Amino acid sequence: MVVTKKFILEKSFNGAPRDDNFKLIEEQLDELKNGEILVEAIWLSVDPYIRPYSNHVSPGTTVMGTQIAKIIKSNNKDYKEGQKVFCSTGWRTHSIINPSTLGKDKMPSFYVLPDFGNLSCSLGLGVLGMPGNTALFGFLNICNPKPGETVVISAAAGAVGSHVGQIAKSLGCYVIGFAGSDHKVEWLKEVLKFDAAFNYKTKDVTAALLEAAPHGVDCYFDNVGGEFSSSVIYRMKNFGRVSVCGSISSYNANPKDLPKVPMLQPAIVFKQLKIEGFIVSRWSDVWQNGIERNLNLIKEGKLIYPEHITQGFENLPQAFMGMLNGENIGKVLVKV
Ligand SMILES: NC(=O)C1=CN([C@@H]2O[C@H](COP(=O)(O)OP(=O)(O)OC[C@H]3O[C@@H](n4cnc5c(N)ncnc54)[C@H](OP(=O)(O)O)[C@@H]3O)[C@@H](O)[C@H]2O)C=CC1
Ligand SMILES: CCCCC/C=C/C=O
């Protein structure tokens, strides 16, 4: 008999997540039925979306999330013990899955991990998974960047932002990143070779852009939203493009009482901007192709993909709160 550890949402979030929002419990799993597999988590992904999406789930529910797991028992002829899979089973150490009953039309929720060669399977949650596809498709398909153009990225030292910046650099763009510490800013300039980077906590955004991009910005990859993004949007060039990927500055806010920011319509109209939001699941039909393209970028030495790893399943809440507070460079993961 298998017992899983899992985190439930003990209390709905109200503002920034706290320890008492989470409860670690144990649950006995049933015997495997025909067609089912039993998986054991190896790596768990810690992602910003968990905060806003959890506004819509009831207390007592397992905290949502994805993981890389190993099949430890199979009652399904198509899956073998020892295979590694990506699955969206939430914050739990063990899960029973029936692959044939999973929906295939939205965000991929289960697949056998492609062969990454000698690379860590943890990359399947980051650069070779959802954040990697977000960066690749969300930047190229929406910003449509051209060599020589000026690209601004917010949350630039995170999993998605750092990936977008490197794609932009490899296309020959002039890349400006914003992040929340001097250490991150140094890393963006020294390691990722961004053309300019600023600490948005200590430097006025408009002043930074007047300095680094006096003629304006062609593309803005927006991970943050709010007042920060309004300032960037007022520095766009005519016909600039904005890919609205996230709005992490609002995730801890009450959705019925969101922060007020300077209105954007004058900039959108008079600069004739294109501003488009997206959810990465819109590219679910080309998901594996995105992973392959990012794997090729790694093989060509065009991507640096740091991982910010916390050891121990029981430390998931701390890793999550730390990520929202900006403790990470690159992808945040928990190793079981
Ligand atoms: N649309 C989609 O389909 C997807 C959207 N996303 C979005 O992409 C963004 C980045 O995700 P991901 O790369 O996984 O996470 P990151 O690795 O970038 O981690 C989150 C980062 O956000 C920054 N941050 C936190 N609060 C604020 C704030 N108030 N203002 C500015 N920055 C803040 C912190 O860095 P710092 O020190 O710089 O403040 C923190 O490190 C998120 O908004 C996420 O929701 C991600 C995946 C898919
Ligand atoms: C359930 C996975 C959602 C991924 C899209 C993320 C959006 C914002 O972070």
- Domains in the chain (CATH in brackets) are 2-119+306-335 (3.90.180.10), 130-280 (3.40.50.720)
129 lines ligand 1 (CB under 6 A): no
Q: Which amino acid is at 171?
A: L
Is residue 100 very low, low, confident or very high in pLDDT (cuts 50, 70, 90)? confident
Beta-bridge mates of residue 240? none
Name the residue of 160, 188, 281 to mutate for ligand 1: max ligand atoms within 8 A of Cβ. 160
In this predicted structure, what is the pLDDT of residue 119?
98
Whose CA is closest to atom 28 on ligand 1?
A: 249
Check pLDDT > 70 for residue 329: yes
Name the residue of 230, 248, 332 to mutate for ligand 1: max ligand atoms within 8 A of Cβ. 248
Q: What is the number of the ligand 2 atom nearest to the C-alpha of 280?
A: 5
Closest by alpha carbon to 313, among 128, 97, 9, 94? 94
Ligand 2 centroid vs 210 CA: distance in angstroms? Answer: 33
Mean pLDDT of the residues in the chain: 97
Pair 221, 166: CB distance under 8 Å: no
Ligand 1 centroid vs 38 CA: distance in angstroms? Answer: 32
In this predicted structure, what is the pLDDT of residue 333?
99
Mean pLDDT along residues 44-66: 97
Q: What is the pLDDT of residues 265-275, one digit of tens each?
A: 999 999 999 99
Q: How far, CA to CA in Å, does 45 sit from each of 26, 90, 122?
A: 20, 9, 9
Q: What is the CA radius of gyration of the chain?
A: 20
Is residue 1 very low, low, confident or very high in pLDDT (cuts 50, 70, 90)? confident
Q: What is the number of the ligand 2 atom nearest to the C-alpha of 53?
A: 1
Mean pLDDT along residues 116-144: 98
In this predicted structure, what is the pLDDT of residue 278?
98
Q: What is the number of the ligand 1 atom nearest to the C-alpha of 281?
A: 3
Mean pLDDT along residues 186-213: 98
User: Token match 């959810």: residue?
Assistant: 279
Relative to the alpha carbon of 64, which ligand is closest? 2
In this predicted structure, what is the pLDDT of residue 186?
98
Helical H runs in 124-239?
130-143, 159-170, 182-190, 205-212, 226-233
Q: What is the pLDDT of residues 141-179, one digit of tens each?
A: 999 999 999 999 999 999 999 999 999 999 999 999 999
Please state, as a whole number, how many other Cβ atoms lie within 10 Å of the Cβ of residue 262.
12
Task: Provide φ and ψ at 219, rounded to 5°.
Answer: -130, 135
Is residue 104 very low, low, confident or very high in pLDDT (cuts 50, 70, 90)? low
Mean pLDDT along residues 11-32: 98
Angle, to 10 degrees, between the axis of helix 287-299 and the axis of helix 159-170? 70
Is residue 307 very low, low, confident or very high in pLDDT (cuts 50, 70, 90)? very high
Ligand 1 centroid vs 248 CA: distance in angstroms? Answer: 5
Mean pLDDT along residues 58-79: 98
48 lines ligand 2 (CB under 6 A): yes
Check pLDDT > 70 for residue 228: yes
Pair 333, 67: CB distance under 8 Å: no
Rounded Cα distance, 11 and 14, in Å: 9
In this predicted structure, what is the pLDDT of residue 136?
99
Rounded Cα distance, 68 and 110, in Å: 10
Closest by alpha carbon to 66, among 82, 84, 50, 83? 50
In this predicted structure, what is the pLDDT of residue 101?
84
In this predicted structure, what is the pLDDT of residue 237?
98
In this predicted structure, what is the pLDDT of residue 105?
65
Q: Which two tokens stand for residue 128?
A: 């070779």
Q: Which two tokens stand for residue 277?
A: 């939001």
Whose CA is closest to atom 17 on ligand 1?
A: 158
Relative to the alpha carbon of 229, which ligand is closest? 1
Q: What is the pLDDT of residues 239-285, one digit of tens each?
A: 999 999 999 999 999 999 999 999 999 999 999 999 999 999 999 99
Ligand 2 centroid vs 279 CA: distance in angstroms? Answer: 6
Coil, helix or strand at residue 3: strand
| Complex ipTM value | 0.99
Q: Which two tokens stand for residue 83?
A: 């295979």
283 lines ligand 1 (CB under 6 A): no
Whose CA is closest to atom 40 on ligand 1?
A: 326
Beta-bridge mates of residue 40? 70, 94
Please state, as a whole number, how many other Cβ atoms lie within 10 Å of the Cβ of residue 11.
13
